[in-house]
Amino acid sequence: MKTILVTGSNGLTGQKITERVLATKDFNLIATSKGENRFPVKEGYIYAEMDILNPANVAEVVAKYKPDAIIHTAAMTNVDTCESQKELARELNVGAVETLIQVCKEFDIQLVHLSTDFIFDGANGPYDELAPACPLSYYGQTKLEAEEAIIAAAGKWAILRTIIVYGIVSDMSRSNIVLWAKGALEKGEPINVVNDQWRMPTLAEDLADCCLLAVVKNAQGVYNASGKDMMSISELVGKVADFWNLDKSLIKEISAETLNQTAKRPVRTGFILDKTIRDLDYQPRSFQEGLAILDEQLKDK
């Protein structure tokens, strides 16, 4: 049985990977994050504190467990924070990846790295894996540099690019668009939503599955790993309102220009998923199926 080490295991993708591994028992799991373990189940895997900004800490944990693969989910994921805290964003999104590249080479470990649609400018979406990148934001820039470092290092690696990940886990340090829209509309709060940006939102379970498939199949190369339905952000929020029978009149459609966000966002991203479906047996759910899965989980909580 392969041993995998997950970075950022307290995050949305990290917790979903832990959930999947505990359900399937197909791997030995070393879950790592900064600080206390926030995953509610504490048995069936090992938790180790590991700060990806501390190379000595990373080297020590990896040397101790010698995993077959590292799934790297930890990052500075808030796009606007990356713009206002560039130094830290670079350390987390590029520097930490360089540390992981080193340890993976040393111990012959496969590095499964998560990247983003924000490496593209959004002029030509949906993109395949070979499309030239052109980030508009500092977040996108750092994620692209990390990809370039991994590819140049020529070890065992897979880069999985994803888009707007949604889902629910315990004690989340940040929300996502589906939970945000549902929460606001349930409280009767009016919300402004852009109608001129298009994405393919990704169910966190699908992304977790794709990460594990990349390990099972010894994937090497770049893979698109998003949901399969393209929609504008306002359509996305409209679908959330329809699904939970919420008041759609609270949704005000606006253009991205009027929102004044710190970081620039691409207009139309989205991914062509053919390669990942063919080579990894990736089976993304529809957005409607994703909402139904989330709904069941919310009922259980």
Ligand X SMILES: NC(=O)c1ccc[n+]([C@@H]2O[C@H](COP(=O)([O-])OP(=O)(O)OC[C@H]3O[C@@H](n4cnc5c(N)ncnc54)[C@H](OP(=O)(O)O)[C@@H]3O)[C@@H](O)[C@H]2O)c1
Q: Indicate which residues carry an active-site annotation.
A: 139
- Residue from the set 26, 51, 83, 196 that interacts with ligand X by CB under 6 A: 51
Q: Please state, in angstroms and rounded to a whole number, the distance separating the CA atoms of residues 221 and 210.
A: 14
Q: Which of residues 168-197 bind ligand X (CB under 6 A)?
A: 173-174
Q: Are 137 and 117 in contact (CB under 8 A)?
A: no
The residue within the footprint of ligand X, chosen from 4, 5, 6, 10 (CB under 6 A), is: 10
Map residues 128-157 to x or -, x wherever contact with ligand X holds by CB under 6 A: ------------------------------
Cβ-based nearer residue to ligand X, 162 or 197: 162
Both tokens of 156, joined, read: 């065992």
What is the rounded CA–CA span in Å between residue 240 and residue 173? 22
158 lies in the site for ligand X, by CB under 6 A: no
Residues 248, 246: Cα–Cα separation, whole Å = 6
Q: How far is the CB of 247 from ligand X (least distance, A)?
A: 26
Within residues 61-90, the interface with ligand X by CB under 6 A covers: 73-75, 77
How far apart CA 181 and CA 287 sit, in angstroms, is 15
Applying CB under 6 A, which of residues 116, 141, 234, 276 lies at the interface with ligand X? 116
Which string of DSSP letters, residue by residue, matches 106-158? HHT-EEEEEEEGGGS-SSS-SB-TTSPP--SSHHHHHHHHHHHHHHHHTSSEE
CA 243, 248, 253, 258 torsion-angle sign: negative
DSSP state of 95: I
How many residues sit close enough to ligand X to count as binding (CB under 6 A)? 26
Q: Pick from 4, 5, 13, 104 the residue near ligand X by CB under 6 A.
A: 13
**34, 156, 217, 264: residue in contact with ligand X (rule CB under 6 A):** 34
Is the CB of 77 or the CB of 276 nearer to ligand X? 77
Q: Could you tell me how far CA 146 lies from the centroid of its own chain?
A: 15
Q: Which of residues 231-260 bind ligand X (CB under 6 A)?
A: none
CA-nearest of 164, 142, 171, 159 to 75 is 142
- Of 6, 112, 165, 241, the one binding ligand X by CB under 6 A: 165
Closest approach, Cβ 188 to ligand X, in A, equals: 26
Say how far apart CA 127 and CA 76 lie, in whole Å. Answer: 23
Is residue 53 a contact residue for ligand X (CB under 6 A)? yes
Q: Does 33 bind ligand X (CB under 6 A)?
A: yes
Return the number of the residue (143 or 190) whose C-beta is nearest ligand X.
143
User: Binding residues for ligand X, per CB under 6 A?
Assistant: 7-8, 10-14, 33-35, 51-53, 73-75, 77, 92, 114, 116, 162-165, 173-174
